[in-house]
Amino acid sequence: MTSPTFTPSPQPLPFELRPSSIQGTGAFATRRIPKGKRIIEYIGERITQEEADVRYDDEAMGRHHTFLFNLDDKTVLDAGTLHNESRYINHSCDPNCEALVDEGHIYIFARKAIAVGEELVYDYAYERTPDMGPESESLYVCKCGAANCRGTILAPEKKAPARKKKASAKKKSGVKKSGAKVAKKTQGKKAASGSRAAKKGGGRKKSPAGGRKRPAR
């Protein structure tokens, strides 16, 4: 693994880094940030998914401490090596920011207006794998303090699809049922996509898996 390399953002940032009650160092707004504002690019060393598996063994860690972020199915950004100020933006289950992919880059956007002094946070939504159990919940514990905190920085578990009701096959004696209403297929609500729909040709879209491939911090 290469040594960490800090590369500060070239443009003035609307936040500063200082101690956070959530964890370690956090990013705090130094001026009002309007909703929809692109704040900073999340940078990291571009590596393959296979290289990420070689570099980090989640199960061997006493606590999660990697800075990987999915860019696409083949590429991961590792901010444990090359990074900028975006690495210090903490997780929250009640985020005021979101991570979106835009033409091969990951950017942090404000999903709502952010006041001066407010900490910038987004939902890491770490990728869940089929073998994860209760011990994973405790390894990836969340301490964001939000009223809706789910207790983990892992992505919310997907709900099982609702079972379809079978249409009644019962008939009244001697009477053929005609014009009976057919039950419509109930579609569950789609998970929030981060307020920006993906466009063809490199438009913005939510970062794969909602964020990081593996835990970061």
For residues 142-162, average pLDDT: 85
List the domain range (segments joined by +) for residue 71: 5-157+194-210
Query: How does the average pLDDT of the chain come out, rounded?
Result: 76
Name the pLDDT band for 171 (thresholds 50, 70, 90): very low
CA–CA distance from 105 to each of 2, 71, 111, 127, 163 (Å)?
A: 22, 7, 18, 19, 39
Mean pLDDT on 76-80? 93
Q: Give the CATH number of the domain where residue 82 resides.
A: 2.170.270.10
pLDDT, one tens digit per residue, over 32-71 is: 999 999 999 999 999 999 998 888 876 665 555 568 899 9
Q: Kindly give the pairing relationship between strand 97-102 and strand 15-19.
A: unpaired
Q: What is the value of pTM for the model shown?
A: 0.73
Q: What's the confidence (pLDDT) of residue 134?
A: 77
At 19 the pLDDT is: 98
pLDDT score, position 56:
81
Q: Residue 192 has what pLDDT?
A: 31
Number of residues that make up the chain: 217
Rounded Cα–Cα distance for residues 202 and 204 (Å): 7
In a domain, 106, yes or no: yes
Q: Report the share of the chain in percent with pLDDT over 90.
A: 48
Q: What distance lies between CA 52 and its chain's CA centroid?
A: 18
Q: CA-to-CA distance for 99 and 76, rounded, in angstroms? A: 14
Task: Answer yes or no: is 49 within a domain.
Answer: yes
Q: What tens digit of pLDDT does each residue of 14-28 get?
A: 999 999 999 999 999
- Nearest alpha carbon to residue 32 among 122, 118, 121, 123: 118
Q: Phi and psi for 134 in degrees, rounded to 5?
A: -55, -35
215: its two tokens:
């835990």
Average pLDDT (80-106) is: 95
Residue 163 lies in a domain: no
Domain count, the chain: 1
List b or e across 90-117, with b for residues whose CB sees 16 or more CB atoms inside 10 angstroms.
Answer: bbbbebbbbbbbbeeebbbbbbeebeee
Amino acid 83: pLDDT: 95
Biggest alpha carbon distance in the chain?
83
CB 96 within 8 A of CB 63: no
Side-chain-side CA neighbours of 193 within 13 Å: the count stands at 10
183 contacts: CB under 8 Å, gap ≥ 6 = 164, 165, 167
Query: Is 186 contained in some domain?
Result: no
55 closest CA partner among 72, 80, 25, 92: 80
Amino acid type, 149: C
Q: Please indicate, yes or no, if residue 125 is contained in any of the structural domains.
A: yes
149 within domain boundaries: yes
At 135, give phi and psi (nearest 5°).
Answer: -65, -30
Q: Tell me phi and psi for residue 201, to 5 degrees.
A: 80, 40
